Structure 1
Amino acid sequence: MDSTRPQPPTAAAGTGDRGAPSEDAEQFWERHYRTRRAWDARVNPLLAETAAPLRPGAALDLGCGAGGDTIWLAQQGWHVTAVDISATALERIRERAHDLGIAGRVATEQHDLARSFPAGEFDLVSAQYFHTPFPLLRGRVLRTAARALRPGGLLLIVDHGSTAPWSWNQDPDLHYPTPTEIAAELDLDPAHWSVPRADMPRRRATGPADETATVVDNVLLVQRTAG
């Protein structure tokens, strides 16, 4: 997904409509992927910017959704574990990877990240727009992600930093945690993790009805420096 398109809602990253009171998270995201039109699943630009200079290794895409990041990483030579709560989303990623001849570099795992986390160690963990209308101990998930890094590995967290005009949540008092606040919540030992980047860049985005607006991204990049 490019920087001019809206981020589609995913199992752990989304700004979509609220679920019905009786729905659980899995039902909500399954309904989303079964009933909505296909997104233009391009790589998120901040992920491409971060990963492009790296030597490909093992990557984990948390809340992979439509799979733009997973497919792009695999095309660059990464071996990617794509994680989402939606079986439909994961099936579509497998089909896309097969069509592109990169199925051998893409593994999919269905997880409700509020309850389980994929096993393994990774050189890169991507958490793009890791928001959800359902209860989630986000800090705990992201701490687990940081601990899943190999020494030298990177955790890239990109969050919404402002409310787009097309967002479902237009609460004027909504607070978006800053990169500094996110880092404080993770509470990682500086003897083992460093923060190479923490900033709030702006970009021009396009909504579902082709309206445009300037939005803010909150970016936190964490690196594991020791085992």
Structure 2
Amino acid sequence: RKDYLDAMVEIAHAAGSLVIFDEVISLRLGYSGAQGLWSITPDLTALGKIIGGGFPVGAVGGRADVMAVFDPTRGKPALPHGGTFTANPVTMRAGLAAMRALTPASFAHLDAIGSLLRDGITASLARHGLNGQCVGLGSLFKVHFPALPITDYRSVYPGASERTKIDLFHKGLLDRGVLSASYGLFALSTSMTEEDAREILSASDGALAAIAAKQ
């Protein structure tokens, strides 16, 4: 919720603290990451995963005055930073290729495929009379089986019966040729097509039908 994030930024700055966004995963939500979606500029941002083009990678960036502590151009930096694999040429080359491929158009494609899947799985849950929700943004979404709306960590954390349904859903997808994370998470890629999405929806519907039959 944007109002929550706005309030956290205001409270942090009022206390003299820096606002740091962990966008290691959420950068994939849009061309400017989650902070772009909610129009919030943090003081520092932690990055990883997609910026390495498949190679292990991590990065941090932020306001010029904050990042100045790492600046070696005016003598010894206030906070030296380096490591054995810092600026590894292979990772940097792969990361640059990935960043060039992740254009606004590619994110629009991921948004469209993600929306198609979320809407379709939500419809399947309703069709089979299952308490469940398919929530997420862009190229990321997850299937939950609680009766109540997802609003916070407590409502996300699965009980025993929900964990059973998640396990059955995962196995049902595997039996139908679809690999998701074992806890119901889907992470889409730019190479996926609408046809791929339709195949996932068919597998998901079959898996959910099997769960409903066991109730």
TM-score greater than 0.5 by the shorter chain:
no
Name the structure, 1 or 2, with higher relative contact order (CA <8 Å, separation 6+): 1
More helix by share: 2
TM-score by length of structure 1 reads 0.25
